Structure 1
């Protein structure tokens, strides 16, 4: 709990330091929203495993906490710092094309919560993960007043329309802001959709938590209406794991695992009743913060799911993985001596460790951190 409190306090302190500069641009909007953003930051600190974010990373993203549509590249713990990107082109330029997993968080919508959830996913696959920031603006305030924070599944069409107020108030033009669909979908959904539609990118795992599952579902359904061939290709090799909320995905996706906590009443009232949970985590609620009791352990849960059903289903990719496994295996050690994978918890066994080494070294090279200039309350640039 101490680490969570420290990370939250450091982020709030760094955020306060940048307030005078941010007030120079859209002062009324920033003054109105700052208190609510700080509140949502505290929510994310409680609901997400923020202790996996280093103090340097927390300071780095502090002035971009509510930059809706911003994209981050989050490597596993101890493998370098995260990278913040303003556009999809910048994301690809800084190594995003190597990411094979895309994560979307919910709850407070801050960059801190998104980074923490993505770090849990990255630790599970031992490779960098892309994550989109949901942000918090005027549209969120209004939908929250109508109950959208609680029953978000039933008011999903209200927020995109109200986001035009955010545009008029001068929010930053990051993510997929310029794709021309502002009146139909929210910016975080548009950015996720643009990432999935981009032929330069190839994701094998889509993971969402809470409201992030709604964003992921909306992006896939919108893409299905525009490009059925692209979605069908994605569905052949992509696994979807929803955590904390069961939301319907396009029917073409058959490899979907819905995970719920045994005590998660919040997730239940926001889930579709006709979708049954594939896995229930004993004595777990909606939050994923390992500093608190009753948490849902994202990393160990994903490891168990991926051990049973691997991400890579494509035969060509499977052959590449097999070749990589042979390159990293120890020829002098008989196969019979390799221990079987363990269930939840504990360190990975030798077999899983080999798969991770091959998966990371052969398919997912490490992403080097590069500094970004995105700031959620600064005047948006005229061009990218």
Structure 2
């Protein structure tokens, strides 16, 4: 618990240093929202495993905690520092093409929570992960006041409609602002959709937690209506894992695993009752913070799911066929992977190596952060 409190305090302190600069841009909006953003930061510190974020990374993203639509590239623990990007082009230039997993967090919507969730996923696949910041603006205040905090799945059309107020109040121009597919789509949804549609990017795993699953579902449904070919391509080799809420995905995606904590009443009231959980984690609630009891261990849960996944089996089949045809040489020995926490799942090193091969995208260079990031205000089969 000490590490969680330390990371939260450091982030709040670093953010206070940038307040004078942020007040020079959209001062009324910043003053009205800063207290709520700090509250949501505290929520993310409780619900996400922020202990995996280094002090340097927490300081680096503190100025952009609520920059909705910002994209981060998060490598596994100990393999480099996370990178914050304002646009998809910048994301690709900074190594985003190596990302084989896309994560979307929920709850408070801060960059800290998003980075922590993505780091857990990155540790599971041993590869860099893309994650989109949900942010917190005027639209979120209104939908929360109307009950959206608890029933976001049933008020999904309200927040995008109200985001026009954020634009009028001077919201920063990051993410997929220039590529809006429809006025009723929220910025985080548009950014996730743009990432999925970009031919330069190829994801094998899509995963969300809590409200993030709603964003992921909306992005996939929108893309399905606009580009069935791209969706069909994604569905052939992409696995979806939802954590904490069960939200319907386009029916073309048949490899969907819904994960719920045994004690997760919060996730249940925000889930679709007709979708049944594929995996129940014993003695787990809605939060993923390993510093607290009753957490849902994201890293180990994902590894246990992925090791039996068709993604891994398909990768093995491709390697076997290529070796049989003499198309590739014997692959070099892969050094043992070290996971900081929790312990490895059943199957040991062999399990870890299967997951690593499935998500490998070649050698990854450590991402170096730019001088400054996007400031907050610079600005049915199963049925699924």
- Which residue in the other structure is 1:327 paired with? 331
* 8 Å Cα contact 2:106/2:209 also seen in 1: yes
Residue 327 (structure 1) shift: 1.7
3-state secondary structure, aligned to 1:175: coil
8 Å contact from structure 1 (residues 103, 121) kept in 2: yes
Rounded Cα–Cα distance in structure 2 between residues aligned with 1:315 and 1:80: 26
- 1:149-173 residue CA offsets vs partner (Å, 9 max, x unmatched): 1100011000001101000111111
Deviations 1:109-150 (A, max 9, x none): 000000000000000000100000000000000000100111
**CA–CA separation in structure 1 for the residues paired with 2:192 and 2:250:** 15
Question: 2:140 matched to 1:140?
Answer: yes
CA distance in 2, matches of 1:165, 1:192: 21
Tell me, yes or no, if structure 1 residue 365 matches structure 2 residue 360.
no
C-alpha distance in 1, partners of 2:253/2:76? 27
Do 1:176 and 1:194's aligned partners in 2 also have CA atoms closer than 8 Å?
yes
CA distance in 2, matches of 1:226, 1:88: 19
Tell me the distance in 1 between the aligned counterparts of 2:182 and 2:252. 26
Task: Give the match for residue 94 of structure 1.
Answer: 94
Question: Which one is further off, 20-29 or 180-189?
Answer: 180-189
Q: Is 1:207 paired with 2:207?
A: yes
8 Å CA contact 2:306–2:312 kept in 1: the answer is no
Contact 2:132–2:192 at 8 Å: present in 1 too?
yes
TM-score computed with the length of structure 1 as normaliser: 0.91
Instruction: State the partner residue of 2:350.
Output: 351
Shift of 1:312: 4.7
SS in 2 for 1:223: helix
Aligned pairs for 1:1-384 within 5 A: 1-181=1-181, 183-312=183-312, 318-319=318-319, 326-329=330-333, 345-346=343-344, 349-356=348-355, 358-359=357-358, 363-372=361-370, 373-380=372-379
What is the DSSP-based 3-state SS (H/G/I as helix, E as strand, rest coil) of the residue aligned with 1:206? strand
Contact 2:176 2:194 in 1 (8 A): yes
Cα distance, 1:355 vs structure 2: 3.1
**Cα distance in 2 for residues equivalent to 1:75 and 1:216:** 21
Indicate the SS of the match to 1:308: coil
Structure 2 unaligned segments of length 5 or more: list them. 335-341, 380-384
Q: Work out the CA distance in 1 between the residues paired with 2:152 and 2:218.
A: 12
Query: 2: CA distance between counterparts of 1:211 and 1:193?
Result: 16
- Corresponding residue pairs, total: 366
Instruction: Give distance in 2, aligned partners of 1:30 and 1:113.
Output: 20
1:77-106, CA deviations, whole angstroms, 9 ceiling, x for partnerless residues? 000100000000000000001100000000
Name the CA distance, whole Å, in 1 between partners of 2:156 and 2:59: 32
- TM-score normalised according to structure 2 size: 0.91
Question: In the superposition, relative to structure 1, how do residues 308 and 148 fare at CA in structure 2: closer, same or farther (>3 Å)?
Answer: same
Would you identify which runs of 4 or more consecutive aligned residues in structure 1 move more than 6 Å?
none
The runs of 5 or more residues in structure 1 that have no matched partner are 331-343
Distance 2:315 2:376 in 1: 46
Q: Deviations over 1:178-232 (max 9, x none)?
A: 1133512000000000000011110000010000000000000000000011101
1:325 Cα offset (Å) = 10
* Deviation per residue, 1:37-63 (Å, 9 max, x gap): 000000000000000000000000000
SS in 2 for 1:121: helix
How far 1:317 moved relative to its partner?
8.0
Residue 367 to residue 188, structure 1, CA distance change in 2 (3 Å):
farther
Alpha carbon RMSD of aligned pairs, Å? 2.1
The 1-side partners of 2:111 and 2:127 are apart by 20
